[in-house]
Amino acid sequence: MIDIKQKSDIIIPFEKIGDDNWSDKTELIINELADNWGDELQEPITIEAISELEKSLKTTLPNSLKLFYQKFGIAGIGEQLQNFNEIGWIKDIWKDNPQYGPDFTKEDKKHLPFLISFSDYLGNGNMFCFHSETKEIYYYDHDTQPYLTKLFDDASEYIKGCLISCQSDLFNREIGQEKVEEWCEEILDELFGKNIIEKWKY
């Protein structure tokens, strides 16, 4: 059971998805989070279903994301991973009605043709995407130009960040959620840098 009374109780689940024992701590966090919110655990996704998605996208998913799906499916990680029928090229979202789309900058347009969404940030219209060639992770922020910002080199970093951040829901009652949120953010700042976390969380 995760019961966070001090900063050192917050679990950093792995260095990278695919490392030895990467799934042990990940499983603990996902199970505790599901239990905390009364959610059902998701079924793992078969390699056949992943291959079908890759065929329809005409590109491969990042390896770390594939490993995660095969073990935990569309698991609750504090942010909304998209179902396979929602994953797609973000350039196609406004294809039929470009007048409703964002006014992408010149810099945005360099990245736009390559980005595929796989996570909705809290359902507010912002999305996390992977680059079809480099597999780097970009953030689409519908409020601020440039709309597209590279945040992480690999999907492992995004998922690790989510799994750390969501532990603020597993706070000890005496300590309180606000303090645990503060500790989680300090850890994220240490791992990824303040600028990245500010862009992501604010």
- Per-residue pLDDT tens for 16-48? 999 999 999 999 999 999 999 999 999 999 999
Q: How far is CA 164 from CA 16, 70, 111, 159, in A?
A: 13, 21, 28, 9
User: Rounded to whole angstroms, how far apart are CA atoms 90 and 129?
Assistant: 8
Domain ranges of the chain: 20-155
- Per-residue pLDDT tens for 62-92? 999 999 999 999 999 999 999 999 999 999 9
Sorted by sequence, the CB contacts under 8 Å of residue 173 that are 6+ apart come out as: none
CATH architecture label of 20-155 = 3-Layer(aba) Sandwich (3.40)
pLDDT confidence of 51, banded at 50, 70, 90?
Answer: very high
pLDDT confidence of 101, banded at 50, 70, 90?
Answer: confident
Residue of 148, 133, 57, 43 lying closest to 102 (CA atoms): 148
For the entire predicted model, the pTM comes to 0.96
**Mean pLDDT, all residues of the chain:** 95
Q: Is the dihedral of CA 92, 98, 102, 104 positive or negative?
A: positive
Angle at 183 between CA 71 and CA 149, to 5 degrees: 65
Residue with tokens 């973000």: 90
User: Rounded to whole angstroms, how far apart are CA atoms 191 and 202?
Assistant: 17
Sorted by sequence, the CB contacts under 8 Å of residue 199 that are 6+ apart come out as: 139, 141, 149, 151
pLDDT confidence of 57, banded at 50, 70, 90?
Answer: very high
